[in-house]
Amino acid sequence: MKIFIKAFVSGLVLWATMFTLVSIILEFYNKYELVKIIIAISSGIIAVLFAYYFKIIKIKQAIIYSFVWLIITLFLDYSVTMKFNNQIFSSVYLWLGYGLMFVSPYLHASLIKRKSIWKK
């Protein structure tokens, strides 16, 4: 149960971080495609940093975090962000960001597992 609470809270912080980041650079985000790509990649990088911080080292943990983060970000984008941009879910860059965020805990856990194998 503790893992779900940590995943939930970290998912809220992850969404708030990305929402704040996009809000700060909104003018550039709406104007340049490259900025949208950078933001999408940033969501994956930030998710990896969260995975590192929360010590997601097992594949089972990674799967739980991935699904919880995805559900939270989808729900919050639907309930909050759509009020500001009703076309948000038609953006391929949003889905790229979701995908990178979703696989980041798994990639982190896989790399940690691979490093432990190499040390033996």
Sign for the pseudo-dihedral over CA of 21, 23, 27, 33: positive
Per-residue pLDDT tens over the stretch 27-46: 998 899 999 999 999 999 99
What is the pTM (predicted TM-score) of this model? 0.86
- For the cut 70, the answer to whether the pLDDT of residue 61 exceeds it is yes
Whether pLDDT at 110 is above 90: no
First to last CA, the chain: 32
CA 82 to each of CA 20, 45, 58: distance values in angstroms, whole numbers, following the listed order: 15, 24, 34
